Amino acid sequence: MNPEQGRRVAIVTGGARGIGAGIATRLAADGMAVAVLDLDEDACRAVAERISVDGGEALGVGADVTDPAQVDAAVERVAEELGAPTVLVNNAGIIRDNLLFKMDVSEWDAVMNVHLRGAFLMTKACQAYMTREKFGRIVNLSSTSAQGNRGQVNYSAAKAGMQGFTKTLAIELGKFGVTANAIAPGFIETEMTAETAERIGVEFEQLKKAAAGKAAVARTGKPEDIAHTASFLASEGAGFVTGQVIYVAGSPCD
């Protein structure tokens, strides 16, 4: 934290578990006040309480990122209770995998809505505070799947979309002191990947072993790996880094 700037306020969507909980915990340890935003407010509060026990400041906020009224109310509540949110991590995500010929329109729409509509609504609501404060850090979660992945035509399109969204935010908001960058994780051990294992009928340990076997660093990722990169991108000193997509995948990616 920069003592001249005071404490920054961050919102982490999808913060109740997995990568989002890891990022929220890390940003709080970095000295930010953190709003943990997710669908289930009780689950958000549990993460916020864990952060408080460790000496951090956090608030649990229940909201659906696809709903404009809920997003606006949540961002307003954060501004009132913690202060102007100038750090936003668009992390909320879902998967609805299927091969194209079997995928129905609801599976397409659900994935587009959470990742793209959700990031759009959250960013639009927060940018007013960021531009006013002449400071902002937006971190969007993309994925290595943006490069294409069998059974994920919806998810890969959404995650590639997050990259274009990020670059345009960087161009539009840069002059207000606001940066926007994307993190594209590879295989990270979370409930999301555990559920994938279950859906395809493979033991999670087996799926992890296969992913580790393909990674140059010979291991799978943990939420802390992504949190570390998010911490850098959200930091005061990262103001000249914008519009980038950082692959955090244990292997080189384009």
DSSP H/E element including 164: helix 153-173
The H or E element containing residue 246 is strand 245-248
* Smallest separation, CB 22 to ligand NDP (Å): 8
Counting Cα atoms < 13 Å in the Cβ hemisphere of 37 gives 31
Name which of 133 and 162 has its Cβ closer to ligand NDP: 162
User: CA 235, CA 1: separation in Å to the nearest integer?
Assistant: 8
Cα–Cα dist 213/186, whole Å: 13
For residues 194 and 204, is the Cβ–Cβ distance under 8 A?
yes
The size of the interface with ligand NDP (CB under 6 A), counted in residues, is: 28
Quick one: which segment of 74-82, 92-100, 146-154, 199-207 binds ligand NDP (CB under 6 A)? 92-100
Which pair of tokens denotes residue 83? Answer: 């202060």
Distance CA 155, CA 148 (A): 9
Are the beta carbons of 162 and 119 closer than 8 angstroms?
Answer: yes
C-beta of 94 vs 197, nearer to ligand NDP: 94
Cα–Cα distance for residue pair 11/37, rounded to 1 Å: 7
Q: Report the C-alpha gap between 67 and 50 in whole angstroms.
A: 27
Alpha-carbon span 225 to 234, nearest angstrom: 15
* Position among 1, 40, 134, 251 found at the interface with ligand NDP (CB under 6 A): 40
**Nearest CB to ligand NDP, comparing residues 86 and 190:** 190
**Active-site annotation holds for 155:** yes
- CA distances to 193, 211, 247 from 250, rounded to whole Å, are 16, 10, 8
Binding positions for ligand NDP, 58-77, rule CB under 6 A = 64-66
CB nearer to ligand NDP: pick between 192 and 253: 192
**Choice among 108, 155, 187, 247 that is catalytic:** 155
Of the candidate spans 28-36, 86-94, 164-172, 173-181, the one that interacts with ligand NDP by CB under 6 A turns out to be 86-94
C-beta of 20 vs 60, nearer to ligand NDP: 20
**Residues numbered 172-201 forming contacts with ligand NDP, rule: CB under 6 A:** 185, 187-188, 190-193
Considering only the stretches 4-12, 78-86, 87-95, 172-180, report the one whose residues sit in contact with ligand NDP under the rule CB under 6 A: 87-95
Binding mask 195-234 for ligand NDP (x = CB under 6 A): ----------------------------------------
**Near ligand NDP in 116-155, by CB under 6 A:** 118, 141, 143
How far is CA 114 from its chain centroid? 11
| Residues in touch with ligand NDP (CB under 6 A) | 13-14, 16-20, 38-40, 64-66, 91-94, 114, 118, 141, 143, 185, 187-188, 190-193
Question: What is the set of active-site residues?
Answer: 155
